[in-house]
Amino acid sequence: MRLVIQRVLHASVSIRDQVVGRIGPGMLILCGVGNADTDADALWLARKVSRLRIFSDADGKMNESIAAVPGGDFLVISQFTLYGDCRKG
């Protein structure tokens, strides 16, 4: 699996001008799944992401996980292009 993770104050995803997902503060995650990825890989990665200390604490240091963010949420978007191969074209 390949992820691109971005901290956001708010994010949304739309299909044909219709909002199908929306969050307030939290993480926007673009997720690419490879042929060899397993359910165990997904579970391990979910635990890892939820524990990333990428949010600021009271002192302004990146020292808090998503659990410390009031109303913190995830918006996960499938992104098969993360496995794109540009070597031939």
In tens, the pLDDT along 55-68 reads 999 999 999 999 99
Q: 19-55 pLDDT, tens per residue?
A: 999 999 999 999 999 999 999 999 999 999 999 999 9
Whether 81 is catalytic is: yes
Catalytic residue among 6, 18, 74, 79: 79
Instruction: Report yes or no: 44 and 19 within 8 Å, Cβ to Cβ.
Output: no
What pLDDT was estimated at residue 86? Answer: 85
Rg value, the chain, Cα: 15
Q: 29-38 pLDDT, tens per residue?
A: 999 999 999 9
Q: For residue 8, what are the β-bridge partners?
A: 26
Whether 38 is catalytic is: no
Give, in words, the CATH class of 2-83: alpha beta
Whether 55 is catalytic is: no
